[in-house]
Structure 1
């Protein structure tokens, strides 16, 4: 493919709106509380609306950023990520959000910065055979099934070469290193505004696995299977979709997910309604500290 001449590149760039010319860090959230917490410290905020989606540019913790909501669930997250990449000069993507905890060693309020993200609901719903649920002969799965659920890899195209089938999409190693340094010096909240407090002081775990799927998880049996099968610490509804889009576009990515609930592993009703605001603040607190530790 012929290269684009510098003069043509300059002409194309001159046609872009001013907000698209500045290299920025994309900071995404799934819910309003996370977004509002980040906006509170944004300097020089300016809003643009593209295809009905609001994007706010400005400076946060010394970094030029663009803030936006991913929308809940996988399709919304993938769509808004690509929309942002198409209209802004984005050099890295950060996700700040809440999640359900699936690792029994973790508690509500903890923040997980996973090293890998996969889509647990990229599945075949298998039929029952004489010896249990069975995949069709032309399909396979690298994971053990949960009854009819057989998780599969997905095929993704990028400029690396031929489309590639894979399950895990990695966070950027350099960004993970910064997160590890920041985690040691960042204090997290233990109580909500109405004085609902955690039983244990929240911790930050950098590394491990997270999984995503377009289903709100509130089931103890599925939670146990997800932990055993994928060695996952958290489950959410967006991060793996953003990780896949970032991987395809070859843009560094990292996600900060604070546990608002235990994905069905807690006693009684799901805890998200009580601890969503606390988890949102903890995730946003760590993201702001992380941004401040990045090189400008």
Structure 2
């Protein structure tokens, strides 16, 4: 990957980008498409930061705006997710290897769950950005797990629904934006990676856990992404 001059960073909610925005003493902003895009700078690296609002449609709109209007060369998503894998605890960090739209169902037409004609079930994260994330984790001596992310327009708090994502997609976490921005990035040949910190366990206690641990988990993910940005700002290439 060549030297990155402009990178986009996304969250879904204000709580997911606030910890990152707080690390910069100066910024400018631009409103477009009922959303705000913050312009930041870290040495010579230009950063465009935005929260999309919750859900796949908003994530796709924001990702496309970052790519087409702000001309970002890569995109990092930082946020929280519901844990599906039994080895994930609250505040654990997960790096997506690939992502799927788990609520797409064209099985009456003999397609597998999550499949869209002329597309695919999964979209894969960028290997070089993921390698950077793993290098940061190693340098910080911070556990970073890898796995599949299931994306759907639903806050999952039902154990049966949770188990279906594990069985059908091998997913480790579930959230509401990642695959959407991933497919947009793939369509425009823009590398991306998605980092999620576990805020709940996607079961009956999920709403209470989410409210209790949202800020803590968002801070974990934002802190990690900031170190990635520092590395990008000082690197000649990945």
Residue deviations 1:57-102 (CA, integer Å, cap 9, x gap): 1114763100011110001100111122121121000000000000
Of 226-235 and 111-120, deviating more is: 226-235
Residue in 2 that maps onto 1:63: 45
Matched residue SS, 1:154: coil
Kept in 2, the 8 Å contact 1:264–1:270? The answer is no
* 1:225 counterpart (164, 177, 181): 164
Q: How does 1:12-51 map to 2 (within 5 A)?
A: 23-51=5-33
* 1:175 counterpart (129, 148, 151): 129
Q: Which runs of 4+ in 1 moved over 6 A?
A: none
1:264 aligns with 2:234: no
Residue in 2 that maps onto 1:128: none
Kept in 2, the 8 Å contact 1:60–1:288? The answer is no
Residue in 2 that maps onto 1:14: none
TM-score (norm 1): 0.73
TM-score (norm 2): 0.90
Kept in 2, the 8 Å contact 1:115–1:171? The answer is yes
Tell me: CA distance 1:61–1:178, structure 2 relative to 1, closer, same or farther (3 Å): farther
In the aligned structure 1, how far is the partner of 2:61 from the partner of 2:9?
15
- Gaps of at least 5 residues in structure 2 are none
Note the aligned Cα RMSD (angstroms).
2.0
In the aligned structure 1, how far is the partner of 2:119 from the partner of 2:44?
38
In the aligned structure 1, how far is the partner of 2:97 from the partner of 2:10?
18
Q: How does 1:50-129 map to 2 (within 5 A)?
A: 50-60=32-42, 63-124=45-106
* 2:224 counterpart (286, 290, 294): 286
In the aligned structure 2, how far is the partner of 1:179 from the partner of 1:48?
29
Residue deviations 1:79-129 (CA, integer Å, cap 9, x gap): 1111221211210000000000000111111010111010000114xxxxx
Tell me: CA distance 1:25–1:208, structure 2 relative to 1, closer, same or farther (3 Å): same
Tell me: CA distance 1:42–1:93, structure 2 relative to 1, closer, same or farther (3 Å): same
In the aligned structure 2, how far is the partner of 1:282 from the partner of 1:185?
16
Residue in 2 that maps onto 1:148: none
Greater C-alpha Rg: 1
Residue in 1 that maps onto 2:144: 204
Aligned length: 231
Residue in 2 that maps onto 1:276: 214
* 1:154 counterpart (103, 111, 116): 116
Kept in 1, the 8 Å contact 2:80–2:175? The answer is yes
